[in-house]
Amino acid sequence: MYMDWVYGLVGGLMIGGAAALFLLGNGRIMGASGLIGGVVDGSGRGNLGERLAFLGGLVGAPLIAVLLRGGPPETELTGNAAALVAAGLLVGIGTRLANGCTSGHGVCGISRLSLRGIVATAVYLAAGAVSLYVFRHMLGAV
């Protein structure tokens, strides 16, 4: 849509600002999969409070925004339950195996010119494009 790139850029600056705040204040990498995964598998016991506070803000701030504006923004997600379960499992296992996702490897890794972040981002972008091509244009599933 027209002007979407402005919202993208402003939202992006907010995301980077959040990551900079977490880094310069708490000394921590803002990686969503790592922060969630450490709670789920118990590896983040040492700083559980900080993780839960971050996740509380991540879930809570958009929820408050939804309540204030009287509804969620328009989104479009597949309703295919099998696809959602498969995608969730792949994202959960994949990001934990790779030690990062779009925020950790993409935003925090690329910005410090980390080779692992750059390679991970190249791989998941390529895999995502191939996946979408197969599921949308070949199978018509999503």
| Residue 1: partners with Cβ closer than 8 Å, 6 or more residues away | none
Q: How far is the CB of 26 from another protein (least distance, A)?
A: 6
Q: How far is the CB of 118 from another protein (least distance, A)?
A: 10
Closest by alpha carbon to 12, among 129, 106, 96? 106
The CB-based long-range contact list for 12-19 (8 Å cut-off, 24+ gap) reads 15/103, 15/107, 16/107, 16/111, 19/103, 19/107, 19/108
Query: Which parts of 70-102 fold into alpha helices (H)?
Result: 81-97
Q: What is the contact mask toward another protein in residues 13 to 32, using x (rule: CB under 8 A)?
A: xxxxxxxxxxxxxxxxxx-x
* Region 103-122 residues binding another protein, contact defined as CB under 8 A: 103, 105-108, 110-112, 114-116, 119-121
Nearer to another protein, 45 or 57 (CB): 57
Q: How far is the CB of 109 from another protein (least distance, A)?
A: 8
- 138 is a site residue for another protein (CB under 8 A): no
* Region 47-106 residues binding another protein, contact defined as CB under 8 A: 49-51, 53-63, 65-66, 72-79, 81, 83-99, 101-103, 105-106
Nearer to another protein, 45 or 60 (CB): 60
DSSP string, 26-45: I-----HHHHHHHHHSSTTG
Give the interface size with another protein as a residue count (CB under 8 A): 107
Structure tokens at 119: 């390679």
